[in-house]
């Protein structure tokens, strides 16, 4: 049961990151607003595209590790990839985003990812 929960929770996190990446590629301005730092009205296409590609790749890598290698590899991946939402917290705070977005979205995500890593390390 615990193994199923570990695979399920990690799969959901990886799929959520895939969804966020796809959203940045398909509806970039709405995704940027949800991120906490709205895109400039006259541009920012590189920021939006890079964010989308980064998140898509992160989700695919997580799923690939989970399927091909297993829970231990996913645990190390989650531990390392937690740096991304921690960095996003700083980006939002330094670029005029709200503390609510920085901590309620990004920092909370980092805590969730770190909790998943800790759980996965028990296997």
- Secondary structure (H, E, C), the chain: CHHHHHHHHHHHHHHHHHHHHHHHHHCHHHHHHHHCCCCCCCCCHHHHHHHHHHHHHHHHHHHHHHHHCCHHHHHHHHHHHCHHHHHHHHHHHHCCCCHHHHHHHHHHHHHHHHHHHHHHCCC
Task: Domain of residue 17: give its range.
Answer: 2-120
Q: Count how many domains the chain has.
A: 1
Mean of the per-residue pLDDT values of the chain: 95
For the cut 90, the answer to whether the pLDDT of residue 45 exceeds it is no
Average the pLDDT over 72-85 and give the result: 98
Q: What is the pLDDT of residues 1-27, one digit of tens each?
A: 999 999 999 999 999 999 999 999 999
Residue 44 has pLDDT above 80, yes or no: no
Q: Report d(CA 65, CA 95) in Å as an integer.
A: 33
- Percent of the chain residues past pLDDT 70, beyond the cut: 99
Q: Is the dihedral of CA 64, 54, 21, 71 positive or negative?
A: positive
Q: Would the pLDDT of 42 be above 90?
A: no
pLDDT digits 0-9 by tens, 86-109: 999 999 999 999 999 999 999 999
Q: How far apart are CA 17 and CA 84, in angstroms?
A: 11
Contact assessment for residue 18 and residue 56, using Cβ atoms and an 8 Å cutoff: yes
22 burial type by CB count under 10 A (0-12 exposed, 13-18 middle, 19+ buried) = middle
């Amino acid at each position: 049961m615990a193994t199923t929960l570990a695979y399920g929770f990690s799969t959901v996190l990886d799929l959520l990151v895939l969804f966020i990446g796809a959203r940045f590629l398909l509806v970039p301005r709405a995704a940027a607003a949800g991120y906490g730092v709205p895109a400039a009205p006259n541009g920012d296409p590189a920021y939006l595209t890079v964010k989308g590609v980064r998140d898509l790749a992160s989700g695919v890598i997580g799923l690939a590790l989970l399927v091909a290698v297993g829970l231990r590899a996913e645990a190390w991946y989650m531990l390392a990839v937690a740096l991304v939402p921690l960095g996003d917290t700083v980006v939002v705070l330094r670029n005029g985003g709200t503390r609510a977005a920085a901590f309620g979205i990004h920092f909370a995500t980092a805590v969730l990812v770190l909790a998943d890593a800790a759980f996965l390390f028990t296997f």
